[in-house]
Amino acid sequence: NAGVTQTPKFQVLKTGQSMTLQCAQDMNHNSMYWYRQDPGMGLRLIYYSASEGTTDKGEVPNGYNVSRLNKREFSLRLESAAPSQTSVYFCASSAQGGDGYTFGSGTRLTVV
């Protein structure tokens, strides 16, 4: 089925460890996004990529890096995980200009 695929679905990290969250979409969308969702705070944008080869910071970029590997794939990296990064992470994609927003099923990350 067409959509946005995220891996892994669950992850537990120790403080200071690093990891990369993977995201791939097969809808030929230009724009991709990483959001985090925390209780009572809705979703907040971490980074976005308007097109292949470009990335830009969102509302809460500190502690994260991203790579837009090609049109399909957009990864999020935590270089040195902190307990404050415990959250649910969602990848999303959209057509040019934000139409057809589609979300992945999320990665639940716990940092201990």
Partner 1 sequence: KQEVTQIPAALSVPEGENLVLNCSFTDSAIYNLQWFRQDPGKGLTSLLLIQSSQREQTSGRLNASLDKSSGRSTLYIAASQPGDSATYLCAVRASTDSWGKLQFGAGTQVVVTP
Given the rule CB under 8 A, which residues bind partner 1? 4, 31, 33, 35, 40-45, 48, 50, 56, 58, 90, 92, 94, 97-99, 101-106
Q: Between 72 and 108, whose beta carbon lies closer to partner 1? A: 108
CB of 39 to partner 1, least distance (A): 9
Rounded to whole angstroms, how far apart are CA atoms 111 and 101?
A: 29
Q: Between 35 and 85, whose beta carbon lies closer to partner 1? A: 35
CB of 48 to partner 1, least distance (A): 6
Q: Between 17 and 71, whose beta carbon lies closer to partner 1? A: 71
